[in-house]
Amino acid sequence: MKKTNNIEVLLFDVNETLLDITTLEPFFLRVFKNPLALRNWFAELVLYSQTLTVSGLYEPFANLAVGTLKMLGANHHISISDDDLAEFKERLGNLPPHPDVIPALKRLKAAGFRLATLTNSASTQSPTLLEKAGISEFFEGQFSIETVRSFKPHSATYRYAAQEMAVQLDRVCLVACHLWDTIGAQAAGCSGAFITRPNNNLLIAENVPQPNYVARDLTHLVELLVGDL
């Protein structure tokens, strides 16, 4: 079965949506004695990336990742050593894909969608995160917000990706497990597909745009978009 909606490009968030950040939990268990400190760190990372954009400032995501880790350590009176940072960077640079990712990407490409990624992370030399995860080949475009020097969910990030893919925003669907990302994409003119991976849930409020699609994982999203191929 081929796709029947007017979406041409599926634009994927990378961290947590495609790549599994829970592989960082052993690091946070060792350093903070609590694997859930991962969620605290990631929330601070997103908060301060967005704060810089709202303030008209910019700092590469990797630098913010290290800075917020050290800040979290200071909050808990824990010193982050050079060896800790080396382990953290090694794990962060080798995130694996979720089990549903490769089968879903194959089916979405077979259905006729053009696939691309848009990440807050800076681009890197080969092998990239997606290459190491074995999923780079699925994507026609791989875009970083570093080009516009604004973090998601700023509208400039989605406009940039659509421009690079040579499509109108209303032909793009942002796929993410972060509601703040789908909200930003929808406000910019895209549609939004929200993946409810653990620790990511809907926010129901009067003026909060609800996603066009809500799926428990990428396998479920394929079913919603194209049915059972």
Distances in whole angstroms, Cα of residue 138 to Cα of each of 2, 68, 94, 101, 115: 18, 32, 18, 11, 7
Q: In the prediction, which pLDDT does 159 show?
A: 98
- Alpha carbons 113 and 229: distance in angstroms, whole number: 13
- Contact status, residue 95 vs residue 19, Cβ threshold 8 Å: yes
Q: In the prediction, which pLDDT does 199 show?
A: 85
For the beta carbon of residue 60, count every other beta carbon within 10 angstroms: 15
Q: In the prediction, which pLDDT does 3 show?
A: 54
10-residue mean pLDDT series, the chain (229 residues)? 75 97 97 96 97 97 97 97 96 96 97 97 87 96 96 98 98 97 98 94 94 96 81
φ/ψ region of 186 (left if φ > 0, alpha if ψ in -120 to 50, else beta) reads alpha
- Alpha carbons 209 and 187: distance in angstroms, whole number: 8
pTM (global) more than 0.85: yes
The DSSP 8-state label assigned to residue 76 in this structure reads T
The DSSP 8-state label assigned to residue 15 in this structure reads B
Q: In the prediction, which pLDDT does 211 show?
A: 97
Burial track 170-204 (b if 16+ CB lie within 10 A, e otherwise): ebbbbbbbbbebbbbbbebebbbbbbbbeebeeee
42 three-class SS: helix
Q: Which domains does the chain have, with CATH numbers?
A: 9-20+95-226 (3.40.50.1000), 21-92 (1.10.150.240)
